[in-house]
Amino acid sequence: MAEPKIKKIKSTVKMKEILADYFRELDEASRTGSKPIAWCTSVGPAELLHSLGFLVHYPENHGALLGATRESVEYIPKANAIGYSPDICSYLTSDVGACLAGKTPLRAAYNMEGVPKPSVLVYNTNQCRDVEDWFQYYARNWGVPIVGVHTPRGLTEVDEPLIDNIAGQIENLVEPLEKIAGTKFSAERFSEVVGLSRRTTDLWWEVLSCAAKVPSPITFFDGTVHMAPAVVLRGKSVANEYYETLLEELHDDIEHNKAAVEGEQIRLYWDGMPIWGKLRDLAMFFISQKTNVVASTYCNSWVFKAFDAADPFRSMARAYTELFICRSDYYKEDYITNLIKEFQCDGILFHDARTCPNNSNNRYGMPERMINDRGIPAVVIYGDLCDLRCYSEEQSRLSMEAFLEQIRQGK
Ligand code: SF4
């Protein structure tokens, strides 16, 4: 039997170029000190940082790169050896371990001197406490200033007093950040960046929505790659131009009925983190099963429909507090059910990522509730985002094959 092929996305060439430019600019600023660099959590207040003239580095992006290149497995034990548990976020342990080893995949990929040197570390605990502890490592060891936003989690409702509080915390960042950047805050510039971010997010959602078509021209695995501009370049017109190009290609695919998975028969929803070191293997597995993973919580995490250039602080507070990851299971179950309908999915695959309880939604009975109360088939596989020692390929494959067979029989 011929080996299944992954459908090429032509726009990838352009994406690689804009990412190379982004890293080149960071590297130059890091080497010459020409511009201040902020490290920011992936759903931290990036728009405020851009408006103040910071270049922004996202350590989670570095963690994903360490996972995708499988270098993380070598570095995690180095962080464990200085007291960072193997059970905490493996982005954190991969990144800190790589720092201890003096290594980074950014050298081979972008010819960079190393990870960009930060002038400030900026976090938001909306996703987990690990991000604050992660940045504290660098604050302690490198003496870099650290500031952040503390967001409560497990929220069913996001009400106005909470938005007042978060917006106030973001406003309080302005003064220390102005001092570090050596610039004055401009409300006009801030509003402009939030407007650009809103456009990025709208375009990214349009890209993801192409997968609602049957057959879908894109997979979850494509999404984990093509979300890079939404993560690291949101608020920049270059990201928006990129998504316009990608959309043109995907609309053309839809018009010509070009499926990402030839002969698509089953459509799935992926909940939880990607398994970065196994993206290709999993993509190939699903192609061989004529199954497409068409929707996910993960890729949707960079869709911020609340951004509003006319009300930048409050809309940003809302956007970064309404995230799926900060919400209660009541909210999450309704959210997933709506997407299952919209994307015509036959079932949910929950990834229990060993080191990320924050984004593993299977641990408090959700799969059983989805099956029993909502009639949606579900399966759980056990793995991790970066620590491949937690992932049993054989066992996961058997669970997924049995699950797909169950769906086939139910159709
Ligand atoms: S949400 Fe999970 S993967 Fe992301 S930083 Fe927190 S613990 Fe790590």
Matching residue, tokens 């976020």: 89
For atom 1 of ligand 1, the residue with the nearest CA is 127
**How crowded is the C-beta side of 368, counted as CA atoms within 13 Å?**
3
Q: Is 95 touching ligand 1 by the criterion CB < 6 Å?
A: no
User: Which pLDDT does position 364 carry in this prediction?
Assistant: 98
Residues 62 and 106 sit within 8 Å (Cβ to Cβ): yes
- Ligand 1 atom with the smallest distance to the CA of 92 is 8
Return the SS3 of 327. strand
Query: C-alpha 93: how far from its chain's center?
Result: 18
3-state secondary structure 225-293: HHCHHHHHCCCCHHHHHHHHHHHHHHHHHHHCCCCCCCCCCEEEEEECCCCHHHHHHHHHHHHHCCEEE
Q: Is 358 touching ligand 1 by the criterion CB < 6 Å?
A: yes
User: Which pLDDT does position 155 carry in this prediction?
Assistant: 97
Q: Is 386 touching ligand 1 by the criterion CB < 6 Å?
A: no
Residues 121 and 135 sit within 8 Å (Cβ to Cβ): yes
Phi and psi for 283 in degrees, rounded to 5?
-60, -45
Structure tokens of 400? 């997924």
- Write the single-letter amino acid at 221: F
Q: Is 128 touching ligand 1 by the criterion CB < 6 Å?
A: yes
Residue 106 CA to ligand 1 centre (angstroms): 21
Give the residue, out of 40, 127, 276, 387, with the most ligand 1 atoms within 8 A of its beta carbon, to mutate for a pocket test. Answer: 127
User: Which pLDDT does position 276 carry in this prediction?
Assistant: 98
* Class of CATH domain 15-411: alpha beta
* pLDDT tens-place values along the chain, 411 residues long: 567 789 999 999 999 999 999 999 999 999 999 999 999 999 999 999 999 999 999 999 999 999 999 999 999 999 999 999 999 999 999 999 999 999 999 999 999 999 999 999 999 999 999 999 999 999 999 999 999 999 999 999 999 999 999 999 999 999 999 999 999 999 999 999 999 999 999 999 999 999 999 999 999 999 999 999 999 999 999 999 999 999 999 999 999 999 999 999 999 999 999 999 999 999 999 999 999 999 999 999 999 999 999 999 999 999 999 999 999 999 999 999 999 999 999 999 999 999 999 999 999 999 999 999 999 999 999 999 999 999 999 999 999 999 999 999 998
User: Which pLDDT does position 123 carry in this prediction?
Assistant: 98
Residue 183 CA to ligand 1 centre (angstroms): 32
- Write the single-letter amino acid at 47: E
| CA 263 to each of CA 214, 217, 235, 258, 377: distance values in angstroms, whole numbers, following the listed order | 11, 12, 38, 10, 21
User: Which pLDDT does position 70 carry in this prediction?
Assistant: 97
Q: Is 356 touching ligand 1 by the criterion CB < 6 Å?
A: yes
Radius of gyration of the chain (CA): 21
User: Which pLDDT does position 4 carry in this prediction?
Assistant: 76
For atom 6 of ligand 1, the residue with the nearest CA is 128
Helices (DSSP H) in 33-159: which residue ranges? 46-51, 59-68, 72-81, 90-101, 105-110, 130-142
Residue 9 CA to ligand 1 centre (angstroms): 28
Q: What are the sequence ranges of the domains in the chain?
A: 15-411
Residue 148 CA to ligand 1 centre (angstroms): 16
Residue 84 CA to ligand 1 centre (angstroms): 14
User: Which pLDDT does position 110 carry in this prediction?
Assistant: 96
Return the SS3 of 37. strand
- Distance CA(86)–CA(71), nearest Å, equals 16
User: Which pLDDT does position 1 carry in this prediction?
Assistant: 57
